[in-house]
Every structure is written in structure tokens, then in C-alpha cells.
Structure 1
Amino acid sequence: MAAKVLFALCLLLVFIAESQATKVKNFFNVMNYGATADGKTDNSAAFMKAWSDACNSNGKVAVMIPRGTYFVKQVIFKGPCKGLTIVRIEGDLIAPSDPFFAKDTWINFRYVKNLIVSGPGRLDGQGSSAWEDCTKNHNCRPSLPISMTFDFVTNGYIHHLSSINSKGGHFKTYGCENMTFKKVKISAPGDSPNTDGIKIANSNGVAIDRGNIGTGDDCIAIISGSKNVSISDVFCGPGHGISVGSLGHNDWEQNVENIKVKNCTLSDTTNGLRIKSWATPLSKPLKVSNFVYEDIVMNNVYNPIIIDQEYCPSGTCSNKDASHVEISDVSFKNIRGSSNTQVAVNLKCSAKFPCKNIILDTIDLWQNRGVGRLSNLCSNVNGASYGKQNPSSCL
């Protein structure tokens, strides 16, 4: 019930934002603050000054970035602001090619209430040089700058914005309330490292609607402390699919609950719908519960449905370790399409905390040519299956 109420609030916010955006009377054009759209001049100071004046003005205000190409170093747009603040990006923003030009983030919104960031402009993270450099340089930081992050933002609406070739991830929310991403386009090569599309962390009430995401990592990553997340009508591919986790590696992590994924298509991804947790002990169990995956199409997907509670990429976990993440009340309904591996549904749950109430309802997955006959695998899982089950259910 709480998830439905929060999603309704997100939709209401979108309606209000779209209806009020046309009534803005106070515009702050970055060109009036010395910005130069030549793709070379650093516009960081001009952008920050325009934001500061807008943020400190009453009523509905808008920072305008007209058409053109703007080179921008790290900018931090900090609140609180006095009213509804709109950032209208019509041009292309280009990040420095240096992978170390900023720590963690390129464009950052912090402590803002009632924020709209809209396109049709584009963020270009210029990630290719960073990927190549980090492949050769073993001292390279594992976390390259994310193109746009939202920290402790309440009532945010990001729409019709494009992001290409991020150095790290493209978008991230942390500590946010009631955020909507609508019609965003995200693109990076399938072999680009750590270029998550949208990462959600410690946030409540996030809606992603009608997005097109292709990356070298997770299209959408949902991690610690995320709850009441709704994902609908998203096309994902290439990438690592729509993922929850990894979870359960640190004692400070928080529960993940009330996630709904509906009417999405995954094409040529290394995973489809994935929940993963570390095979490591915690001081107290972490709970993952109330997930619904419904009406999902798979096209040539490795691991279409996978719960992996033996995740240990570093290889340092003991064979005796079992995940301390409790997974319960997860339903997969009307999942159909083609698998590029023989195991279509792979449910590897924790031996210490077995998965509870896992539902497979109408699963129709078939093999690509040359893959061989499909099968399902279950371990340490309790649940049930209903309707058509192709291949045969292991529950």
C-alpha cells in the first residue's frame, strides 16, 4: 500500500512540474553569466553563478542552458533553494577527458527540494579515454566520476535528458525522496567498465518510466537502503540487466523492499532480472522483500532470471560462508523470450537463510539456436510455480 501511495505522489509531482514549468517568469540564462558555447572554454563558474542566483530567488525559477556545446568541469548545485528550481539543458555538456578531474561526480545536485532537470540536451562524459587509461593503469581509482548525481534531493523530476559515455555511472540517487526519471536515454559501449545507467541507493520512492538504457554494466542497479522503486517500460541493452545488489558485504547496509519492474524489455544483456548478495557473514541479517517482476520480454539474454547468493568476485570468500541476506516474497510473472544459456531460471539461495515465497507464474523461455535444451536450477529456495512453465519449474 505504501509503495502505491508513493508512486502516486511521484506521478502527481510529474503532473504539477509539467503544468507549472510553462508559468516560470524568472529565467537565468547561463549566457548572461559569461558562458561560451565553443566546446573548449570552462563554463563551470558561469553555471554556478546562474544556479546561485536562481536558487536564492523566490517563486518558480529556471536556469537556462541554450543550444550549443559547453565544456564544464565539476559543478555542485547546492540547496536549499527558495522555490521550485528548473534546470533546462538544451545544449550538450562535455566533461574533461582527464579521468581524475573530479572525485566521484561530475554534475551534482545536493539538498534541493522541488527540482526539475530537463532536456533535450545531452551529457557527454568522454569516458573512452578514462576506460583505456584505467585498463592500463593499475593505480587508477576504481570509482570514476558519475555524470550526474542527486544527493538528498526531495521531489525531483528528470526528463527527456540524454547521457553518453560516462566515465563511471550515468545517474545516481543517494538519500533521495520521490524521484522520477522519465524518457531518459543512456548510452555507453557494452564493454565499457562500471558505466551503470541509473544507480539507486538509500532512496525512497524512485520511479523510472519509458527509458532507453544501454551500458557496459547494470542498466539499473538497486542497492542498499532502496525502497518503493517502480520501473516501467524500460528498454535495456546492452548491459548487465536490471539488478538488485550486490548486497550483504557490510554491516552498515540497509534493507531493500517494495520493488516493482513491469513492461520492460531486455535485449543482448549478460543478465536479465538479477538479485545478488555476497557469500559473507553479517552481524545481523539483511532483509530483501516484496519484489514484483511482471510482463518482461527477454531477447538473447544470458541468465534471464537469477538469484545469486554466492556472489564473490574477489574469490576470497570461504566455502563455509553463506549469505546473511534474507530474500522473501519475490514474484516473477509473465516472463517470456529467449535465453542464451542453458539455465533459464537459476535460484541459488543462501544455505543459512533460504529464500522464502518465491513465485514463478507463467514463465515461457526458449533457447537460442545452438544453446541446447533449457533447464532450471533451484537450491535453498521455498516457493511455488503456476501457469505455463517452460522449461519445467524447479519449484
Structure 2
Amino acid sequence: MDSRHLCMSFFILFFLVLANEAFQDAFANSCNVTGGRSQIVVPRGAYMVKSAVFNGPCKGWIEFRVEGTIKAPAGLVSDDDWVAFRHFDGLAITGKGTFHGFGESAWNFNNCEKNPKCRRLPISIQLDFVNNSVVSGINSLNSKYFHVKIHQSHRIKIDGVHIIAPEDSPNTDGIHIGNSENIRILNSIIATGDDCVSMGPGSKDIWVHNVTCGPGHGISIGSLGKYDNEADVNGIKVQNCTLSGTNYGLRIKTWASDIQLSAYNITYDNVIIDNAYNPIFIDQQYCPFDGCDQSAKPSSVQIKDVWFKNIRGSSKSQLAVTLQCSRKYPCNNINFWNINLLYHGPEGSVNATCMNVRGSASGIEKPASCI
């Protein structure tokens, strides 16, 4: 948009201890500016924000420019979300500042693997029903739960962000997408304790490009098939990415359940995987908890039309490719072209294993294809 046509409304926020009231006052003023773009600026400095939920729609574009550090309260807090944006059409979250979630003060409360009544910790940045928007340049540090979650949103670009949390921090997914379409994640660095990017049910037309991932659990589709009425996953492209020191590399994971849906039209192209435990992994018996009966039933999620192209690097384990598909709905049209994954450990040569898979392999085959 040409600057001559922008209606700029600057609200510089000088916070003392808690910035919630200043945030909301500035937002209320900006949201009522008709047309153009209104800008809310968080200047350099450190500001404590307990919880901030911004509800649109607004009369024009809203830009939150963060140059300082926004700090979450320490410990276990009552809110499900820390900073949330809902019902926007035209939102920009920009700047070189940091959202500091102080997750290190709450990760010990994340005991959902053992406690079915556990309460979810807050997400750092939540985008709900947000369209035609951009997140650019910001930093997210030590989220209590997910760093960024995108839900029921369309045409979102995330560009040049830096997301970081320790390797052993639980459920600190970098960017999680669900029931959203036309999402672009570009030119970013994500180093977390869980998935760098996770794409859940209803993720459609997602492009992950030039993302550096690691540590963490790699770039994942799923988990799928856990809840009723989940929507298909369709049109995923992961391209020109580097994954280093991750537990998994490129992973698709589904629960062994009766929930029916499909994941299809998925392309991984020109990806470097350096020293990952499981570089390529399709897991249709996914279960992160103890006590799961993985033999009880096959997954009802159909995985099909998947391309792995120009995947190269090294595996930390001998088993570089694992395709563990459903006996009820075998993986169909799974294609490999120029896979070059090396293993230098004591067990021997690099291997692949397949179960209930149909597809093809051509070009370089390291490990030798099991399809």
C-alpha cells in the first residue's frame, strides 16, 4: 500500500509494570480508525503483560510493531492464551522485538502424558479467524506451550521470524497450523523442544520455504485421526529447508483410530537433513503416551500422493526411512526421487523399512528403497 494513502495513527506505549491496559487502550483507538493503516508501537525496553486478547474486526489495517521485549508472567497462569488476535482482516505483527514466554517457570506443570486432567499451558501468540495478514521479523523465546498457533485463518505469511526454546522443553511447537488455508512460512529459524512446524487437521495449501529447523522434532503433519470431524490435509509443500540435530526430520503421524480423513498432495523437495534420528518417518501408529495398545486397530487415515525429492544429508540412526502405514488404508502413491541419506554408525549400512506402502523410487537410492 502506498504511504500516501495510509492513515497512520501512532500510539507509543510506555509501560511501567503491567502493560495490559495500555495495550487495550491503544488498540481501541487504532481499531476505530477508518481505512488505511493504524500502528501500535512497543518501543525498546521490557514490559510485563499478563494476558492480552485483541478482538476485531477493525475498520482498517492494524500493525503491531514490537521493538522491545514483551514478558509473560512467570509460573502457572490461568489464561489459555497469552497474546491472542481474533477476527481480523488485515493484521501485521512486525518488528525486531521479542515475545518472552518464560516457559522455564512452567514446563514442570506440563504433565499431560501422565495426567489426563492436566490443563493446557498458554500459547504465546494465537491467531484465530485472521485473514490477509503477516507476521514478520519478530522473536519468540521460551513459550510455555506453542509459540505460534494459527487456527481458522486464511492467507497468512510468516516471514523472517526467530523462534527458540531448549531442546528438552515440552510441547513448545514453533508454529502450529490447524483448519487454515494458504499459509506461508518463509526465511525463518526455529529451534524448539517439539515440532518446528506442525500441520494439523484442516491444513490446506501450506508452503514452508527456507526454514532452518533444529533442535526439535522436525517438520510434521499431524497428528491426525484423534478427534471426530477432522478435516483433510491437502496441498503441503516443504521446500529448500534445513533440519539439523532433530529427533525426526520429515514426519507424518496419525493415530490408530476409526476417525476417517485423508492427507494427500504432499511434496518435500530439496531438503537437507543433518544428523536426525528419523529423517523420513510415516507413523500411522502414533502414540506419545505410555500404555497405548498400538495393535488394537489400524489407522483410518488415508495417506496418498506424497513426493520426497532431493532429500540429502545424514541419519543419526541406521534406519533413515521408516514407512509404517495402516493395514486398513495402506499408503498409496508414495514416491521417492534422489534420496541420499548417509549413516556412519557402528551398526552397518543405512536402511529403510516399509509396511503397507505402495509407490515408486528412482534416482539415487540411499538407503535402498523398500517400496
The CA RMSD measured in Å over matched residues stands at 1.8
| Residue matched to 1:297 | 272
CA shift at 1:129, angstroms?
A: 1.1
Extract unaligned runs of 5+ from structure 2. Answer: none
Matching of residue 360 in structure 1 with residue 343 in structure 2: no
| Residue matched to 2:213 | 236
Count of residues paired in the alignment? 368
Q: Report the TM-score when normalising by structure 2.
A: 0.95
CA shift at 1:376, angstroms?
A: 0.7
CA shift at 1:140, angstroms?
A: 7.9
| Equivalent-residue separation in structure 1 for 2:142 and 2:256 (angstroms) | 32
Which segment is superposed worse, 247-256 or 220-229?
247-256
SS of the residue corresponding to residue 299 of structure 2 reads: coil
| Equivalent-residue separation in structure 2 for 1:352 and 1:186 (angstroms) | 38
Does the 8 A contact of 2:110 with 2:120 survive in 1? Answer: no
| Residue matched to 1:198 | 175
**Residue 313 (structure 1) aligned to one of 281, 284, 288:** 288
Which segment is superposed worse, 366-375 or 331-340?
366-375
| Residue matched to 1:28 | 11
**Residue 58 (structure 2) aligned to one of 75, 78, 81:** 81
CA shift at 1:371, angstroms?
A: 5.2
Does the 8 A contact of 1:99 with 1:167 survive in 2? Answer: no
Does the 8 A contact of 1:280 with 1:317 survive in 2? Answer: no
Residues 117 and 316 (structure 1), Cα distance of their counterparts in 2 relative to 1, 3 Å cut: same
**Residue 307 (structure 2) aligned to one of 331, 354, 357:** 331
| Residue matched to 1:106 | 82
SS of the residue corresponding to residue 252 of structure 1 reads: coil
CA shift at 1:98, angstroms?
A: 2.3
Matching of residue 167 in structure 1 with residue 150 in structure 2: no
Q: Report the TM-score when normalising by structure 1.
A: 0.90
**Residue 264 (structure 1) aligned to one of 232, 238, 241:** 241
Extract unaligned runs of 5+ from structure 1. Answer: 1-15
The equivalences for 1:1-395 within 5 A come to: 16=1, 23=6, 25-31=8-14, 35-36=15-16, 41-59=17-35, 60-103=37-80, 105-134=81-110, 141-282=118-259, 285-314=260-289, 315-317=291-293, 319-370=295-346, 372-395=348-371
CA shift at 1:141, angstroms?
A: 3.2
Encode CA deviations 1:115-152: one digit per residue, 9 max, x unaligned.
Answer: 10002100000010101344699698352101000000
Does the 8 A contact of 2:317 with 2:345 survive in 1? Answer: no
Does the 8 A contact of 2:164 with 2:191 survive in 1? Answer: yes
Residues 124 and 22 (structure 1), Cα distance of their counterparts in 2 relative to 1, 3 Å cut: farther
SS of the residue corresponding to residue 27 of structure 2 reads: helix
CA shift at 1:245, angstroms?
A: 0.5
Amino acid at match of 2:337: D
More helix per residue: 1 or 2? 1
Encode CA deviations 1:209-252: one digit per residue, 9 max, x unaligned.
Answer: 01100000000010011100000000000000000011011222
Does the 8 A contact of 1:195 with 1:215 survive in 2? Answer: yes
| Equivalent-residue separation in structure 2 for 1:368 and 1:161 (angstroms) | 38
SS of the residue corresponding to residue 30 of structure 2 reads: helix
| Equivalent-residue separation in structure 2 for 1:189 and 1:318 (angstroms) | 30
| Equivalent-residue separation in structure 2 for 1:132 and 1:46 (angstroms) | 31
Amino acid at match of 2:225: G
CA shift at 1:388, angstroms?
A: 0.7
CA shift at 1:333, angstroms?
A: 0.0
Amino acid at match of 1:29: I
| Equivalent-residue separation in structure 2 for 1:348 and 1:133 (angstroms) | 33
Percent of pairs with identical residues = 43
Does the 8 A contact of 2:111 with 2:118 survive in 1? Answer: no
CA shift at 1:270, angstroms?
A: 0.2
Residues 354 and 171 (structure 1), Cα distance of their counterparts in 2 relative to 1, 3 Å cut: same
Amino acid at match of 2:219: I
